[in-house]
């Protein structure tokens, strides 16, 4: 038996998501060494993602969260979460965010909150991290393109943040905007760029105040990789991924429903609500199934898509009486 292939025993008490991550990383490195030409190209964005993996956060354990909020499904490995995604500010390829988002300056950072609030103002990132109690939330994230992941986010309820600015009773919607900095965002300079920057999203006030709706500042116990929306992003687990806007700099409370990026671009394909719904197909593809990452040609890992992405028990009540095939 070859010594090199021996795997050191790990006491079961130490088998955590983090140690699984480290051992898989070590495996990927050795795989890259074995198959140089191809793996080098595939491996480099991953190594870049590792170099940017953030600072350790202090947070309450997922198990302490409200029942039903945390899934015990297999978590998508860190490498997949950090290397495959959408962040059009950096390009439209799934690997562009990991390749280019390192250029984005995330320190200093502040979020401005205004509109229909009693106390408009700005919070800087240090204050946000000091003021709000962080907790882990293990959520499914389902992209409208029919791939999905399970991510252990670290964050706090969006409602906690909004409360501090004293929403007025006239506030019925919330609008979010992403940083727009052309010199650091090659996707916004591209001739093929189709979005009217900055990227915008919105929620109805009751959706924004729902306890599932999270502002994430980290994943896998550490601050967010830039490509996943550092330093803070929205996570709305029962809606298609495009609602979960990244790298937020501005939040505005409004009386009217805001125009949002994907809805403005293709209103027949992407609605304002964008609730995950296997019964309502996208005009160009079925929404009945999804590819759960990690997914490959040989192991597509196809799973059925669930109503409200599996959060119907918590959120179906928000949409009572609404025709969800019309208000998709």
List of residues contacting ligand MTE (CB under 6 A): 85-89, 141, 143, 178, 199, 228-229, 241-242, 244-247
246 binds, among ligand MTE, Mo ion, none (CB under 5 to 8 A by kind): ligand MTE
When the beta carbons of 142 and 210 are compared against ligand MTE, the nearer one is 142
**Does residue 245 touch Mo ion according to CB under 5 A?**
no
Of the candidates 46, 48, 129, 143, which one interacts with Mo ion according to CB under 5 A?
A: 143
Tell me the closest approach of the beta carbon of residue 253 to ligand MTE, in angstroms.
20
Q: Residue for token digits 């992941």? A: 149
Please report how close the Cβ of residue 85 comes to Mo ion at its closest, in angstroms: 8
Choose the stretch contacting Mo ion; rule: CB under 5 A; options: 86-94, 120-128, 201-209, 229-237.
86-94
Contact present, 52 and 106 (Cβ < 8 Å): no
Between 94 and 172, CB nearer to ligand MTE: 94
217 binds, among ligand MTE, Mo ion, none (CB under 5 to 8 A by kind): none
Count the site residues for Mo ion by CB under 5 A. Answer: 4
The Cα–Cα gap between 91 and 180 comes to 14
Cβ burial, residue 314 (10 Å; 0-12/13-18/19+) = middle
CB of 266 to ligand MTE, least distance (A): 13
Residue 78 or 116 having the CB closest to ligand MTE? 78
Nearest distance from residue 236's CB to Mo ion, in Å?
12
Q: Does 241 bind Mo ion (CB under 5 A)?
A: yes
242 binds Mo ion (CB under 5 A): yes
Phi, psi of 253, deg, nearest 5: -90, 135
As measured in angstroms, the least distance from the Cβ of 244 to ligand MTE is: 5
Q: Could you list the residues that contact Mo ion (CB under 5 A)?
A: 86, 143, 241-242
């Amino acid at each position: 038996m070859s010594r090199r292939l021996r795997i050191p025993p790990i006491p079961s008490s130490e088998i955590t998501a983090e140690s699984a991550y480290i051992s898989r990383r070590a495996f990927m490195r050795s795989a890259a060494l074995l198959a140089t030409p191809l793996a080098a190209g595939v491996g480099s964005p991953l190594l870049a993602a590792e170099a940017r993996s953030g600072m350790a956060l202090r947070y309450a354990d997922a198990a302490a969260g409200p029942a039903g909020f945390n899934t015990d499904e297999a978590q998508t490995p860190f490498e997949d979460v950090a290397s495959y995604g959408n962040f059009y500010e950096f390009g439209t390829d799934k690997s562009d965010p990991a390749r280019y988002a390192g250029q984005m300056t995330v320190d200093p950072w502040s979020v401005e909150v205004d509109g229909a609030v009693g106390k408009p103002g700005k919070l800087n990132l240090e204050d946000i991290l000091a003021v709000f109690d962080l907790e882990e939330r293990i959520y499914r994230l389902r992209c409208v393109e029919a791939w999905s992941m399970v991510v252990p986010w670290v964050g706090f309820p969006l409602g906690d943040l909004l409360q501090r600015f004293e929403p007025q009773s006239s506030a019925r919607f919330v609008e979010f905007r992403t940083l727009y900095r052309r010199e650091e965002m090659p996707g916004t300079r591209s001739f093929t760029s189709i979005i009217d920057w900055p990227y915008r999203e919105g929620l109805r006030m009751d959706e924004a105040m729902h306890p599932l709706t999270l502002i994430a500042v980290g994943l896998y116990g550490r601050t967010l990789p830039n490509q996943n929306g550092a330093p803070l992003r929205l996570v709305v687990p029962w809606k298609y991924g495009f609602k979960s806007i990244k790298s937020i700099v501005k939040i505005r409370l409004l009386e009217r429903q805001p125009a949002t990026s994907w809805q403005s671009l293709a209103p027949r394909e992407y609605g304002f609500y964008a609730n995950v719904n296997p019964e309502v197909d996208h005009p160009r593809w079925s929404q009945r199934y999804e590819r759960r990452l990690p997914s490959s040609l040989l192991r597509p890992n196809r799973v059925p898509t669930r109503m409200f992405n599996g959060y119907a028990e918590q959120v179906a009540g928000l949409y009572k009486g609404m025709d969800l095939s019309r208000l998709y």
